[in-house]
Amino acid sequence: MNDSPANTEEIAELLVYLGRAARGTDAGSDLTAAQWTAMRFFARANRLSRTPSAFASFNATTRGTASQIIKSLMQKGHLVRHQAVGDRRSVRLDLTHSGQAIMRNDPLHNLTDAIDRLDGKLRTALRQALPALAGELAKIRDTVAFGTCGDCRHFSCCDAVSYCACVDAELAPTDLGCLCVNFAASESRKSTTPSLKSKEIS
């Protein structure tokens, strides 16, 4: 395989095709493609990122459009809104039991099953390439890049204790795979050894 410009265009087109194919399977289900995107985001984002504005950034849409999608999911009983203690302007969205149940029928499982069928080396290469690609796109567009702790320059791990310099807190194992609005791409990927400590941010 060569690295000609035509090849990079082919990769971009394949990425768009995969996104379209995934959204196509969303269309025949109980939720719209936009609602599924929101459900996946609130299922995977850490506590500080489960806000309407972070979802608007993630979904590359306006705050008003994001609020409409969130409102429709609250009316269906899949999301619940919590007011942050001590800050009435700050809200957090969580999945309800019904939201968690519907995620078990996420049409994206077709795509995750397909990824599971790939050779391990290919999966690892994809796992490394896609966050890097998302980071480069965010730089070009001067917008927020979402990612997870293992690829973030705020992350460090020492003696099995994971730490986030951005929020000055230790991270629990469950934090490490969560999407984060404070993510900042690291030049070199660091250790992702799971933490044993319990002060969580998710």
Distances (CA, A) of 126 to 120, 130, 189: 10, 6, 14
Taking the complex as a whole, the smallest distance from the CB of residue 99 to ligand SF4 amounts, in Å, to: 23
Pairing state of beta strands 79-84 and 87-95? antiparallel
The separation between CA 187 and the C-alpha centre of its own chain, rounded to angstroms, equals 20
Q: Which residues contact 41 (CB under 8 A, 6 or more apart)?
A: 55, 58, 59, 179
Tell me the C-alpha distance between 129 and 112, whole Å: 17
Identify which of residues 56 and 180 has a Cβ nearer to ligand SF4 in the complex.
180
Q: According to the binding rule CB under 6 A, does residue 182 interact with ligand SF4?
A: yes
Q: According to the binding rule CB under 6 A, does residue 145 interact with ligand SF4?
A: no
- Report the residue from 132, 144, 166, 185 that binds ligand SF4 according to the rule CB under 6 A: 166
Q: According to the binding rule CB under 6 A, does residue 65 interact with ligand SF4?
A: no
Say how many residues make up the chain: 202
| Position 46, amino acid | N
Q: According to the binding rule CB under 6 A, does residue 149 interact with ligand SF4?
A: yes
| Count of CB atoms situated within 10 Å of the CB of 162 | 24
**Among the residue ranges 29-37, 76-84, 109-117, 149-157, the one whose residues contact ligand SF4 (CB under 6 A):** 149-157
Tell me the C-alpha distance between 152 and 59, whole Å: 20
Are 35 and 73 in contact by the 8 Å Cβ rule? The answer is yes
Q: According to the binding rule CB under 6 A, does residue 155 interact with ligand SF4?
A: yes
- Report the residue from 66, 79, 152, 172 that binds ligand SF4 according to the rule CB under 6 A: 152
Residues of this chain, 24-53, that bind ligand SF4 according to CB under 6 A: 46
Q: According to the binding rule CB under 6 A, does residue 80 interact with ligand SF4?
A: no
Identify which of residues 107 and 150 has a Cβ nearer to ligand SF4 in the complex.
150
**Which residues contact ligand SF4 by CB under 6 A?**
46, 148-149, 152, 154-155, 164, 166-167, 180, 182-183, 201
